[in-house]
Amino acid sequence: MSDAPLGRLRERLGEIADLRAAADLLHWDQEVNMPPKAAAGRGRQLATVAALAHRMFTDAEMGEFLKELQDGAHALAPDDAALVNVTAYDYVRATKLPETFVHTFAEETSKAYEAWVKAREISSFPAFQPHLETLLELLKKKADLLGYEGSPYNALLDEYERGMRIEQLEAIFAELAPKQAALVERLVNATHPPDTTWTRRDWPESRQWDLTVRILSDMGYDFEAGRQDKSVHPFTTSFGLHDVRVTTRFDAKDPFSAVSSSMHEGGHALYDQGFQEQDARTPLAEGASVGIHESQSRMWENMIGRSLPFSKHYRPLLNEFFPDVPPHVSAEDVYRTVNCVKPSLIRVEADECTYNLHVIMRFEIELALIEERMVVAEIPEVWSAKMKEYLGIAVPNDAQGCLQDIHWSLGSMGYFPSYALGNLYAAQIFERILEDIPDLWGRIESGRFYPLLHWLREHVHRHGRRKLATEMIRDITGAEPMCAPYLRYLETKYGELYGV
């Protein structure tokens, strides 16, 4: 086959990728630097760029490129065939959405984000409610435009976890929820919970910043191809292989919150910095799924960042950055502190054992909203009821309740389940890593993270979107995705920690 149609496709995809990178840069600036009065103009800018990119991707010429390439698919090299297949899937999905819808959705999400920030500041869900009602109607329309079998939620879920269906999620959550709830009950009733009193001191933000930058560098994050900033809600964004940025936030009473946040976002960023150069400015330079992306962030944040070898390596550095930490505080004390299990209000600060329960309740609320079994005005009440049901705690206000997450303001319903799937994928992948790198913990204790990063580069990162999530898990582990490795990981780790 001539390279001409393939070359034209790559050229067009590169131009579209540049437009989307420009939109992502506008989003990044909106969350990091933008002055308040710029909000309305930013919404228009984002809508214009989104509409332009959509128009370029869905025009007839793009369809002609793809048809010609698919007709001659037998002559394509494997990497080129993968690019055509992924692009064709995205094209079919995108052509179902009119440009006017894409423009409106981008503008309304920009407005909703600004409303969410303000509503969160004053802890008032009613201040955000009309914007969420608008987005919910748009999301239901989006599901209808895309088409679906079964629940309309499946159409939204497919955007983040291709091929996943609510029936599969419900089966996974039905296995996870009771077992994790039972484990949490055993742990919170343990006779020897971790002593965290040594953390009751001020932790200067500037020193927390320096510590998180050090850890990100040690992980292998390339600061010459990225940067860290502060934002209301931590996130990672990529404008290309050589510009992948992370944000974090700080708590003057808890330095480990920022460490976890930076390691989580660092895991995402390492994935985005690890795609193949040949895939730049194409759909192949993206994660296999959001769940696989979350497996990378959750692995670095929890399986590495909350491990005893990690605590042993960084315990001396605590005094380098925070000289007033008492010398009697051991690495084991730090390890027990960062793994304290206690039901809490905030998802991003939740321990490993309760985290999925936060995700499950959000999934249930989203599903009920999309299926029109509840309305937006009921969210605070339903949220409080589910927090009591799953975690046994009362919600004091909207900011610490239903306004804590950014996702709904971005129109990202269907995203939350990927966090739980990421935990499952991470545990399953990590069992294989320990087989392939039997001395991994010794390397982590000595601060050598490269063997882990190299393994992830080879088995996960470089593949981009060449594989679906289930295919990637199957190729790495020889098994289908399952709950057992994650539940085994929790039972072993926390059973030993708490002596239960």
Backbone angles phi, psi at 229, to 5 degrees: -135, 175
183 near 414, Cβ under 8 Å?
no
Would you call 322 helix, strand, or coil by DSSP? coil
Quote the tokens at residue 186: 């055993």
Kindly tell me the sign of the dihedral angle through the C-alpha atoms of 412, 351, 274, 473.
negative
Q: Which two tokens stand for residue 469?
A: 């999530």
Measure the CA–CA gap between 388 and 278, rounded to whole angstroms: 50
Do 284 and 275 meet the contact criterion of CB atoms below 8 Å apart?
Answer: yes
- Which residues does 225 contact at the CB level (< 8 Å), separation at least 6? 241, 242, 243, 244, 273
142: which residues sit within 8 A by CB, 6+ positions away? 97, 101, 105, 155, 156
| CA dist., res. 248 & res. 194, Å (int) | 26
Per-residue DSSP letters for 442-456?
Answer: HHHHTT--HHHHHHH
DSSP 264-307: HHHHHHHHHHTS-GGGTTSTTSS-S-HHHHHHHHHIIIIIITTS
What are phi and psi for residue 237, nearest 5 degrees? -140, 145
**Catalytic one among 108, 161, 265, 445?**
265
Active site residue 458: no
What residues have CB less than 8 Å from 229, skipping those under 6 apart? 32, 245, 246, 247, 248
Nearest Cα to Cα of residue 466 among 282, 237, 267: 282
Q: What's the rounded Cα separation, in Å, for the pair 390 and 387?
A: 5
Contacts of 112 (CB under 8 A, 6+ apart): 128, 131, 132, 134, 135, 408, 409, 410, 411
Residues known to be catalytic: 265
